[in-house]
Amino acid sequence: MKSIALLIGIIIILITLIVFIQFQTDNVNNIPAIDSDNDGFYDQVDAFPFDNAASIDTDGDGYPDSWNPGKNQGDSTSNLSIDDFPDDPSASLDTDGDGYPDSWNPGKNQGDSTSIPPLEIDEFPNDKNAYKDTDKDGIADFYDIYDFADLSLKIKLQKFKVTSKVDFIRWAQVYFEVYVEGEKFIIDNNGRNWKVWLNQEKTISHDTIEFDIPDDTKKEFTKIEIVMMDNDLFGTDDVIDINSEFQETSLIIEFDNVRNSISENGYVKGPQAVLWYDITYPENEIPDEDSYNRTYSWSFNNKNWKFSLKIPVDSYNSYVNYNIRRHPQSELEIRKYVTSKDEIVKKISNILLNFAQEENFNTVQTVNFILAFVQRNIVYTYDNTSKGVSEYWRFPVESLVDRQGDCEDSSVLFASIMKSLDYDVVLLLYTWEENNQKQGHLAAGINLEGFHGSYVEDAGKKYFYCETTTISYVVGKLPPTPPEIHEDPDKIIHV
């Protein structure tokens, strides 16, 4: 009997619970669906339930992704404005549409940015061509011929010695004419000449010549000419030859505006005289200790190429520490590794393009030239050797600093450079089974006019195969192994 009573009690409790749950569910289901602003989106899913101009706010920052159909900002009852960065909660407004925000959203900063690479504030929010002034000289990097210093020159003549007769006497009356981009400066002995005997060293005391180079100049070089003169009381002043080169008597120096460097400095000896001098110019705003100094060299068309680059440590660290899966599984994840808008990538792209243009390379030669750069400078290394893990995809800046990587690293770097130069480029992902383990290879493909070897076709376009891991492989040339790459790729990833 006790067992029956206990069973009946349990049944009563269960029935009571079921009735209670049903009652609660009915109450929830019977809550009326409210659309306060009559925009077709219920309040429960409307990010702006009292403003019928907009409804969706993906990143939850208070700025709508878009206007509702038929609506615009004039219809907003709460002064809404469209989010120019709908997937990043750190920023919303981009006045000039260049992809860099005018400011951070309230309470946000770069550390809150979810974009890859993280967003950077636009220092020139009304100029779509410019956003950054690295050297703080007031000229945007886009217009600044050299981004890392406010270009200027300081010229100081230190001492001289006449070593050979200028005319028929054994002494000379010396003064100097200095020309910087045609602007003339006279250096003399307080309005007089220096009277010196042959082989007599003479110290020069004068005000330093200071010359400001326009940072938005289009000239690659600033020309400096130093002319040593001998005053002649009874005729035309003579030029004292301080240039060892035939047909030249003055010292001609070129300051490289593009690289912030000078062709020669300090000392010159000619047939008639010796001159000691010093030309100084500003150091980079980014000091060496805060940068990785990398020199890249390679060969192409029987010619050797080389250039050096400073990569900020902070830039490298921001990619190393970025919160992202290092073995991406989706096309969206893979695309994030192609950082064609990164400043370092753009700088290298422009350096390579300038080299190619100086050689008058055509389109295919330019592609092969850049392909050779990647092949030679990213040494093929397995991830478990370089990083101690089976898979580690690098961002381009990481590859440029590490100078090593495997197929995905070099392919992503090549794709980033080519995309930065406005080429239509894709990533080609091949996968296969080997010994019951999944294997893969990543290469790049580039859309070119004409026929240039092996290609894959997508949406009516030919993308010619680019092997980034092996030296001397030109566009359209397939390696013999693995055989799977001679078939269609599993994925063609547009970047």
Phi and psi torsions of 376, nearest 5°: -80, -30
Mapping DSSP to helix (H, G, I), strand (E, B) and coil, where does residue 376 land? helix
Give me the DSSP letters along 423-474. Answer: --EEEEEEEEEETTEEEEEEEEEEE-SS--S-EEEETTEEEEEE--SSTTPP
**Which residues are within 8 A (CB) of 76 and not within 5 positions of it... i.e. 6 or more apart?**
51, 53, 54
The one-letter amino acid at 79: N
Q: Does 289-494 match 152-280 at the fold level?
A: no
Task: Tell me the per-residue pLDDT of 122-161, one tens digit each, with 9 for 90 and over.
Answer: 999 999 999 988 888 888 988 988 888 899 999 999 999 9
**Which residues are within 8 A (CB) of 453 and not within 5 positions of it... i.e. 6 or more apart?**
464, 465, 474, 475, 476, 477, 478
Instruction: Evaluate whether the domain defined by 289-494 bears CATH number 3.10.20.
Output: no
Other Cβ atoms less than 10 A from the Cβ of 447: the count is 15
The one-letter amino acid at 306: K
What pairs with residue 184 in β-bridges? 179
Q: Check: CB of residue 414 under 8 Å from CB of residue 397.
A: no
Other Cβ atoms less than 10 A from the Cβ of 272: the count is 21
Closest to 344 measured CA to CA, from 397, 384, 386: 397
Closest to 88 measured CA to CA, from 55, 56, 66, 110: 110
The one-letter amino acid at 402: D
Which residues of the chain register pLDDT less than 50? 19-21, 23, 25-29, 288
Two tokens, residue 289:
């200790």
Two tokens, residue 400:
């440029």
* CATH class of residue range 152-280: mainly beta
What is the spatial distance between Cα 73 and Cα 82, in angstroms, rounded to a whole number?
A: 8
* CA neighbours closer than 13 Å in the CB half-sphere of residue 9: 6
Task: Tell me the per-residue pLDDT of 178-233, one tens digit each, with 9 for 90 and over.
Answer: 999 999 999 999 999 999 999 999 999 999 999 999 999 999 999 999 999 999 88
Residue 3 is predicted with a pLDDT of 60
Q: Where are the domains of the chain?
A: 152-280, 289-494
H or E stretch at 405: strand 404-405
